[in-house]
Chains A and B, each alone.
Chain A
Amino acid sequence: MAGSAKGILVAGSEDARLSAGKGRACVSADTIFALSSGMPPSGVAVIRVSGPDAIAAVVALTGGSPPLPRHMALRGLRGADGDSIDEALVAVFPAPGSFTGEDCSEFQVHGSRAVVSALAEALGSLGLRPAEPGEFTRRALRNEKLSLTQAEGLGDLLQAEAKEQLRLARQSASGALATLYEGWRQRILHVQAECEAELDFSDEDLPPGRQDALAKAIADLTLELGAHGRDNVRAERVRAGIMVVLSGPPNAGKSTLLNLLAKRDVAIVSEEAGTTRDILEVSLDLAGYAVTVVDTAGLREASSAVESEGIKRARHYGEAADILVSITAPGLKDAVLSREADFQLWNKTDIAPAPAGPWLALSLRTGAGVDAFLEALTAKVARDYGLGETVVSGQQRHQAAVSDAATHLSRAKDYLQSGSEAQLVLVAEECRMASMALARILGLVDVEDILGAIFSSFCIGK
């Protein structure tokens, strides 16, 4: 194509009726948020919010009235499901007395990945969206909140941002991520081209029976985008540490196993049943994977309130475990867990051999069978969490765009499955929005791209 201007939203340059009123605050339609401090883990993480719902978000997450403007207050944050996110220092900055000139709010939370992503998820569920790079600055500039000197210094600042983006992008996938998204975008474009061909060239004798191929293409894309989302979650688990939970009746040897794994004394190991009342964790490197092994209280009828609390927590951990290892030993009752264990260890083979069953037999005292267990555990970690050559993204902005695209594609799939030709225009519209979502990461879509795809694939024209 001839033009240099690209973009599906290529704008007209006219419209004399609208002019930028100098000094008048421009209120954005949507509310954005971003992690404004360094990447977690860090001591404190600062999440900034700007836009019309910035203060309402504070009310929603804290469940109370917002603090006085520009005053810090300690508040508990809860997500939509009522689960606690964190205790945070919260501040609100009503417009125009804020960095962007819009209503702003700020959350200072503990700087863990889990807290930051839970908060981001909660903000997202309120209808807020992650900011595009430079978007806060852009809003601040639009509302003339940056002074002359600040504006002069901005060049350097923004360039630093760009370099950082570049570094991050290289780090994450050395371009592989862009290739992945671009590949999807191209495939969505082709789906769109198929629809557009049906809509714009219905009078031509297009080859028949393409509806099935279209449905399959959309279904494949939906699956892949969904899997990518899950891969990103797995990647997140790998970064945070895979949680291996040891569970079993008292005196089965859970703490001994933990110590053996850690090669140091972290749990109080004794022969007296019910010693481990709290949860003990040890982090270790298992063939390159960060693994957190958690030792839980022995599961049985509690004899004290403290122990009872420990058992409750043990059950909770057992549910949340990435890998659940249950241990038992001769003469002990099997404790019931509500989910199937990944490994069932029979300890103390030096006392009695394992009965028939799916047992992995070992003796923590003699060390017999321990290596075989470790090998099996390592293999499982590698199998379940090894991402191999899979390209993943840790960036929330990417994740939001991918999940956005997946939502639009799944709607497109529904419209297509309705079998009504009248919905085809909506299939095309959803595909357009899906490819725009990916284009937000990559660049912009051009309608010429779509027409190009149509003309290269079909014989059009009378």
Chain B
Amino acid sequence: MRTTYDVIVIGGGHAGCEAASAAARFGASTLLITHKVETIGEMSCNPAIGGLGKGHLVREVDALDGLMARVIDQAGIQFRLLNRRKGPAVQGPRAQADRALYRAAMQDAILGCDGLTVHAEAADAFLISETDGRKSVTGVMTSSGKTFRAGAVVLTTGTFLRGMIHIGEKTIPAGRAGEAPAIPLAEQLYSLGLPMGRLKTGTPARLHRDSIDWSGLDVQPGDEQPVPFSFLTDEITTPQIPCHITRTTAATHAIIRDNLDRSAVYGGAIDGTGPRYCPSIEDKVVRFADRASHQVFLEPEGLDDPLIYPNGLSTSLPESVQHDFLKTLPGLENVKVVRPGYAIEYDYVDPRALDHSLAVRDLDGLFLAGQINGTTGYEEAGAQGLVAGLNAAASCGSSAPITFSRTDSYIGVMIDDLVTRGTREPYRMFTSRAEYRLRLRADNADQRLTPVALEGGFCSHDRAAAFHVKQAQVSALTALLKDRTLTPPQARAHGLAINQDGRRRSGAELLSNPTISFDALRQIWPEIADFDPAIQAQVEIDCRYSVYVERQAADVAALQKDKAIRIPADFDYRSLAGLSNELREKLEAARPDNLANASHVDGMTPAALSLILARLSRRAA
């Protein structure tokens, strides 16, 4: 049996799968170590992919030739483009998944990946060597005592680190329901001195499909024309089914209020910090006492799967109480609970211990991705896995790190948020986290990021070919719209309402006016219609936001300039005269590595920045 690889990935969840396949695509010989092959690609919480912000991440993973988008395109049973009416920058694809189909598609992708080997066993310990006082991870020992050596290890343990499930007064040490937690690894991580914290999250009960009275419930259908996630998917062929909606009632709230002291979260059994955006039903009833009712989506876990996921009812109340309150929801009067909901507490590593390539700063050869970094969600995990896998592979081959910035991607926003600010609740992506979201759209993820994959040599031929064709068409139509112009009187003759200011405007400029429709331009210049409708839509969006995108580009340029001014790690703030003690302490703690980051240290003043600059220019001289 082979025992030496370039990269070892621990964990076969969403982060692990993307990490392993990305490392292999990059050309590294890769070993994926996971408990069981059968749980590779398991969706342990809500069986859905995408959403607002999250859908952007999936498109970006796809643009970088990752797996997730193609897998959900095979496994999705209800596709919806969210925010369809709210402008392309904030539209996010979402799909309900058949869990079995998703697992199967992901397992196919992993087991069929060139250069990737899977070993099914628990990883118990890192092999660590020390040179000149600096430690590095050189391999992994499994629970049976086998050792594997590698140039770099990616750890993607999800909630397996000292996981503790709470159901009412009951506590069960576990990673996921029915699976053992990875305690030895957690203890070794502690012994390595990594800064750690504790988080909590929750999941609702799973209900049996046949025990629900569907007749009176609102139906939420999927889109008639499902929009695929992957830029390579032409059509969704999996059968599509609807979800249903029910609501909590006054009786539900009364039962929950009466049993609050028995909730693990409210009874004080849990001290980890939970997410604000995914509160338990206890939380909702307490914090929003004025709301008479909360909406609950009844989401099927698969085409043939009898389980129903009641989205919106995450809880840590005792099993009997869960059953009692569930019965008060319309349609659930005779509900059968297959598995109770629970809260889970787990350890995470403070991601400020990582750099932008997701490498642990103080320990060579170790990369972390996914929930272990304090995030929540398959999409956040997958995107980090991809970045960690690429960089683990790059580090073995002595290639330069492949990093992303806030100005090019949601991936960049997420990693920058994590490694520079850390997180105290499970971190989830939102479009509002991306200050450049008018540029960073789901529709143009390929244009933003596929060139990175091409340049890095980890893009498949198929994707490269499809990208070049699309890019050529986008460029041609953009050039056409910039070339065709109208004078204001001509525009008026065509029925377009613009200022009669004598300024000739191009088709592209006309589109930046929200009152002018693309249809109107197609009538004026019929040659536009020669282009593929998808290309037309893409170029239209680009033109619509062009004014804002250009303004943001100016912000980005200013940011890049300040980022180019590097502050050495050993910069001596102590000897800077004129810096307040408070600010000095903050700077010493944050150790910003360039001027842009320094300017965002809390309490920073222009005068203090100038002091740092003055010292830097003196050092350079």
Contact = CB atoms under 8 A, between A and B. Distances in A.
B576 A5 contact: no
A3 B52 contact: no
Interface in B71-103: 82-83, 85-87, 89-90
A10 B406 contact: yes
Interface residues of A, number: 72
Interface string B391-421: 0000000001101111100001001110011
B424 A1 contact: yes
B83 A447 contact: no
B465 interface: no
Nearest to A448: B421
B531 interface: no
A232 B20 CA distance: 62
B602 A5 contact: yes
A424 B87 contact: yes
Contacts of A3: 352, 417, 420-422
Given A151-B618, A425-B89, A425-B90, A12 B356 contact: yes
Interface stretch (B227-235, B259-267, B587-595): B587-595
A311 B614 CA distance: 60
Interface stretch (B275-283, B300-308, B479-487): B275-283
Contacts of A135: 606
B607 A161 contact: yes
Given A1-B421, A2-B421, A13 B610 contact: no
Interface string A432-447: 1000000000011001
A425 B432 contact: no
Contact of A134 (B87, B287, B401, B606): B606
Given A14-B356, A423-B514, A141 B614 contact: yes
B563 interface: yes
Interface in B340-396: 350, 352, 356
A252 to B, nearest CB: 49
Interface stretch (B108-116, B325-333, B551-559): B551-559
A263 interface: no
A13 B617 contact: no
Given A20-B565, A141-B610, A423-B514, A6 B277 contact: no
Interface string B287-298: 110010011110
Contacts of A420: 514
Contact of B53 (A1, A159, A200): A200
B577 interface: yes
Nearest to B416: A12
Contacts, number: 242
A11 B597 CA distance: 6
A49 B287 CA distance: 54
B620 A13 contact: no
A200 B554 CA distance: 26
B606 A461 contact: no
B600 A11 contact: yes
B312 interface: yes
B112 to A, nearest CB: 33
A16 B278 contact: no
A425 B417 contact: no
Nearest to B432: A196
A444 B600 contact: yes
Contacts of B431: 196, 199-200
A146 interface: yes
Contacts of B284: 459, 461
Contact of A12 (B51, B401, B563): B563
B287 A6 contact: no
A13 B611 contact: no
B613 A138 contact: yes
B7 interface: no
B278 A461 contact: yes
A340 interface: no
Interface string A194-212: 0010111111110000000
Interface in B20-72: 51-53
A20 B89 contact: no
A267 to B, nearest CB: 50
Given A12-B406, A447-B432, A461 B312 contact: yes
A198 B82 CA distance: 11
A421 B86 contact: yes
Contact of B278 (A205, A451, A462): A462
A462 B312 contact: yes
Contacts of A418: 514
B564 interface: yes
A135 B422 CA distance: 31
B33 to A, nearest CB: 29
B319 interface: no
B420 A162 contact: no
A317 to B, nearest CB: 36
B621 A144 contact: yes
A247 B473 CA distance: 72
A455 interface: yes
B334 interface: no
Given A159-B578, A199-B432, A151 B614 contact: yes
B574 interface: no
Interface in A1-52: 1-16, 18-20, 22, 26, 29
Interface of B: 51-53, 82-83, 85-87, 89-90, 275-279, 284, 287-288, 291, 294-297, 311-312, 314, 350, 352, 356, 400-401, 403-407, 412, 415-417, 420-424, 430-433, 435, 437-438, 514, 548, 554-555, 557-566, 576-578, 586, 589-590, 592-594, 596-597, 599-603, 605-607, 609-611, 613-615, 617-618, 620-621
16 contacts: A5-B601, A10-B420, A13-B416, A14-B405, A15-B405, A29-B557, A138-B606, A159-B578, A200-B52, A202-B83, A422-B86, A425-B87, A455-B276, A459-B279, A459-B294, A461-B279
Given A1-B424, A18-B564, A425-B87, 11 more contacts: A2-B350, A5-B421, A7-B599, A9-B435, A11-B562, A11-B597, A13-B596, A155-B611, A422-B86, A424-B87, A459-B291
Interface of A: 1-16, 18-20, 22, 26, 29, 132-135, 137-138, 141-142, 144, 146, 148, 151-152, 154-156, 158-159, 161-162, 196, 198-205, 418, 420-426, 428-429, 432, 443-444, 447, 450-451, 455, 459-462
Enumerate the 10 nearest inter-chain pairs by beta-carbon distance, A residue then B residue, closest first. Answer: A3-B421, A11-B596, A462-B312, A7-B600, A155-B578, A455-B276, A459-B288, A2-B422, A14-B403, A134-B606
